[in-house]
C-alpha cells in the first residue's frame, strides 16, 4: 500500500499587510477540500508572514482576522496558523483525513513585495482500491 497525492499549485503575490484569503481550487475552478497545504515565500529579508487555515468543523476566530487593523494581530490562543520568514520561509499543514480546508489566509508583517508558491491537495494513504473514490481529489 502507498500514499497517493494529486498536487495542485498556485502562485500569488503579496505587497501589503492586508490579509488575503486564497481559495484552493482544482483545475476546474472548484474549491478543493485539502488535507495538505504547503506555502513557500520568496521575498525580502526582515519580514514574516502568517498563514492560517479554516478547518471544516473547527471553531476558530479566523473569520474575523482579515478585518483586524495592524500588520499581524492575533489576540486569541490555539489559532490554526503558522509563521515563517518572507525570505524563503515555508510552512506545511498536514492534516488528518477528516480535517480539511479549502482556503488559506496569508498576512504579511511588512508591505514588501513577496511571491507565495502554494502546493495543495488531498493525500490519500495508505490507499485501498475499494475506497479510492471516497476521497476528494478534484478534477
**Rounded to whole angstroms, how far apart are CA atoms 22 and 26?**
13
List, in order of start, the domains of the chain with CATH numbers.
7-122 (2.60.120)
In the predicted model, what is the mean pLDDT of the chain? 81
- What pLDDT, on the 0 to 100 scale, is given for residue 125? 73
- What pLDDT, on the 0 to 100 scale, is given for residue 130? 66
Sign of CA dihedral 2, 35, 8, 119: negative
**For 35-93, what is each residue's pLDDT tens digit?**
999 999 999 877 899 898 878 776 655 444 444 444 445 555 556 889 999 999 999 99
| Of 135, 139, 129, residue with least CA distance to 35 | 135
Q: Is the peptide bond before 126 cis (omega within 30 degrees of 0)?
A: yes
For cell 526582515, what's the residue? Answer: 46
Q: Model's pTM, two decimal places? A: 0.79
Q: Which residues contact 15 (CB under 8 A, 6 or more apart)?
A: 111, 112, 113, 114
**Rounded to whole angstroms, how far apart are CA atoms 24 and 32?**
6
Amino acid at each position: 500500500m502507498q500514499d497517493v497525492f494529486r498536487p495542485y499549485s498556485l502562485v500569488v503575490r503579496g505587497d501589503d499587510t492586508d490579509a488575503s484569503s486564497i481559495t484552493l481550487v482544482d483545475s476546474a475552478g472548484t474549491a478543493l477540500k485539502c488535507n495538505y497545504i504547503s506555502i513557500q515565500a520568496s521575498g525580502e529579508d526582515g519580514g514574516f508572514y502568517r498563514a492560517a487555515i479554516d478547518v471544516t468543523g473547527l471553531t476558530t476566530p479566523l473569520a474575523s482576522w482579515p478585518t483586524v487593523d495592524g500588520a499581524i494581530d492575533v489576540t486569541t490562543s490555539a489559532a490554526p496558523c503558522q509563521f515563517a520568514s518572507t525570505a524563503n520561509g515555508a510552512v506545511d499543514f498536514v492534516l488528518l483525513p477528516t480535517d480539511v480546508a479549502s482556503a488559506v489566509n496569508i498576512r504579511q508583517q511588512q508591505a514588501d513585495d513577496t511571491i507565495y508558491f502554494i502546493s495543495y491537495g488531498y493525500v490519500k494513504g495508505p490507499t485501498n482500491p475499494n475506497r479510492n473514490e471516497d476521497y476528494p481529489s478534484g478534477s
